[in-house]
């Protein structure tokens, strides 16, 4: 079933026309603020790694007393830092399984509103962790922010896909990924030691996430609920009609409402599916496999190893200003997400996804060769940087945005929430594996040069 409105008829019965209304713009903007927070909390842990580790060291020493050794044991620090990074994904894994239940119970809009309370609590815990001399508070805050992001990663594309006109569904769907990469870029800029990435200001850097949460709380009450949720799930024709009028700008929305009625009649023969029912359904097996494999290809490419650890990667590769190189990667990330907005409806989902994966593989090979030659040819550090930029660019052409909104297109209203929950769980599980294992692998390899080959080996 399509997720967007296929046609909107004027009162005079003219041919169907498409409109982009102020209400639609407001609703999409308000929703993707959640994706902005998601991206911010992916990138925020990157640049201030050293100053936060120093804070961890001070906290550990203060708890050990005067007989403590001079610094925290390296293995303990590696564990604490890896947990601080990867616990974000654990929260996402858990909440992604609740997506179907929460989105059906509260609705798409109300679920996003309630979800912000989790973001506010998580941001507060992270911001107060240093003052409380508690790395446990930071880790718990990261877990809560991950739980928030797990729901957001499903709610935003679900809501946007259900309110978007059909001809704009792909373009508006990529705005979810665009907001994520803008959030990553903002975190990278604010994380500079000339901004908030300092010993004194890093708690403020970690708590900035409460600002988009507050803005979303202010804006979402003025946005309509998904008319598909109202009519098909809740059987509320009056509110659904009102929502359609707000989104389309037409006084007569009988054409769009007729589509919902027809879809509901078809769905009455296809009841909403639970997770177990979806897993056992032969009808939905192929689209479910496609959805999960797309999510796996996104995360097992190793892209989040770059987002989580790019500053240390650039530093070990001999780049003079690694924090600024990280920002450069963020700019490339954002620019090519914008490119994908215009390409997705022209080149097709499958073509862009395969092109992106092929390009990432090529950049991984280039990166590995450059690193092998780095000691003999110092200029290869520039080749390594270009390879990482290319790796990120190809990711945003296809593997970045497409898996998030393709699930809404593959499934009709009945199995959609369960399918998005399973796909999201797969994504977050792989995110956790990459985030938790990278630091251990990097440390175990000893040689700094080898650190940079890891994301690309994963993608291979």
Q: Would you give the distance in Å from CA 368 to the centre of its chain?
A: 27
pLDDT for 203:
94
Chain segment 54-69, per-residue pLDDT in tens: 999 988 888 887 666 7
pLDDT for 30:
95
Chain segment 101-135, per-residue pLDDT in tens: 898 889 999 999 999 999 999 999 999 999 999 99
CATH class of 21-223: mainly alpha
| Fold match, 21-223 / 273-444 | yes
Chain segment 347-378, per-residue pLDDT in tens: 778 888 899 999 999 998 888 888 788 778 88
pLDDT for 455:
45
What is the average pLDDT score of the chain? 83
Please state the rounded mean pLDDT for residues 399-407: 80
Bigger pLDDT: 269 or 148?
148
Chain segment 300-322, per-residue pLDDT in tens: 888 877 777 777 777 766 677 77
Reported as a pLDDT band with limits 50, 70 and 90, residue 212 is very high
Closest CA to 43 of 151, 152, 183, 156: 183
Q: Which residues contact 374 (CB under 8 A, 6 or more apart)?
A: 317, 318, 380, 381, 384, 449
Reported as a pLDDT band with limits 50, 70 and 90, residue 201 is very high
Please state the rounded mean pLDDT for residues 74-80: 86
Above 70 in pLDDT, residue 25? yes
Highest-confidence segment of 33-42, 262-271, 408-417 = 33-42
pLDDT for 259:
84
Chain segment 230-272, per-residue pLDDT in tens: 988 888 888 988 988 888 888 777 788 888 888 888 777 767 7
Quick one: angle between helices 135-163 and 99-106, nearest 10? Answer: 60
Above 60 in pLDDT, residue 15? no
Instruction: Output the CATH code of domain 273-444.
Output: 1.20.1250.20
pLDDT for 330:
85
pLDDT for 413:
67
Please state the rounded mean pLDDT for residues 74-91: 88
Q: What pTM value is reported for the model? A: 0.79
Above 50 in pLDDT, residue 95? yes
Reported as a pLDDT band with limits 50, 70 and 90, residue 442 is low
pLDDT for 315:
72
**Spans of all domains in the chain:** 21-223, 273-444
Degrees, nearest 5: CA angle 293-1-252: 140
As to burial, measured by CB atoms within 10 angstroms (0-12 exposed, 13-18 middle, 19+ buried), residue 447 is: exposed
């Amino acid at each position: 079933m399509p997720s967007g409105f296929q046609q909107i008829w004027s009162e005079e019965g003219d041919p169907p026309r498409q409109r982009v209304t102020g209400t639609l713009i407001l609703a999409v903007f308000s929703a993707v603020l959640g994706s902005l927070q998601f991206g911010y909390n992916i990138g925020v842990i990157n640049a201030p790694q050293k100053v936060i580790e120093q804070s961890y060291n001070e906290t550990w020493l203060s708890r050990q007393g005067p007989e403590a050794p001079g610094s925290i044991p390296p293995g303990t620090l590696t564990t604490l830092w890896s947990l601080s990074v990867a616990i974000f994904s654990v929260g996402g894994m858990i909440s992604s399984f609740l997506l179907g239940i929460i989105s059906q119970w509260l609705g798409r809009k109300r679920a996003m509103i309630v979800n912000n309370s989790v973001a506010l609590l998580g941001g507060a815990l992270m911001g107060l962790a240093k003052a409380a001399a508690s790395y446990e508070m930071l880790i718990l805050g990261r877990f809560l922010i991950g739980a928030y992001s797990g729901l957001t990663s499903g709610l935003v594309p679900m809501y946007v896909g259900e309110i978007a006109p059909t001809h704009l569904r792909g373009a508006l769907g990529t705005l979810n990924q665009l907001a994520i990469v803008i959030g990553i870029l903002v975190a990278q800029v604010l994380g500079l030691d000339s901004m908030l990435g300092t010993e004194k200001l890093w708690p403020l850097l970690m708590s900035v996430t409460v600002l988009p949460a507050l803005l979303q709380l202010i804006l979402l009450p003025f946005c309509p609920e998904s008319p598909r949720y109202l009519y098909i799930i809740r059987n509320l024709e009056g509110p659904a009609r009102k929502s359609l009028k707000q989104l389309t700008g037409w006084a007569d929305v009988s054409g769009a409402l007729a589509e919902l009625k027809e879809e509901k009649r078809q769905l009455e023969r296809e009841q909403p599916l639970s997770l177990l029912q979806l897993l056992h359904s032969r009808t939905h097996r192929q689209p479910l496999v496609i959805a999960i494999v797309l999510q796996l290809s996104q995360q097992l490419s190793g892209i989040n190893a770059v987002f989580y650890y790019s500053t240390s990667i650039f530093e070990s590769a001999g780049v003079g200003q690694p924090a600024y190189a990280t920002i450069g990667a963020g700019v490339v990330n954002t620019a090519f997400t914008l490119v994908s907005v215009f390409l997705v409806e022209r080149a097709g989902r499958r073509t862009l996804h395969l092109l992106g994966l092929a390009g990432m593989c090529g950049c991984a090979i280039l990166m590995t060769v450059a690193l092998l030659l780095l000691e003999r040819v110092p200029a290869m550090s520039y080749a390594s940087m270009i390879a990482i930029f290319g790796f990120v660019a190809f990711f945003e052409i296809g593997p970045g945005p497409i898996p998030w909104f393709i699930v809404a297109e593959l499934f009709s209203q009945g199995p959609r929430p369960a399918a998005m929950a399973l796909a999201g769980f797969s994504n977050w599980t792989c995110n956790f594996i990459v985030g938790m294992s990278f630091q251990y692998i990097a440390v175990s390899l000893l040689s700094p040069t080898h650190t940079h080959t890891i994301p690309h080996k994963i993608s291979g």
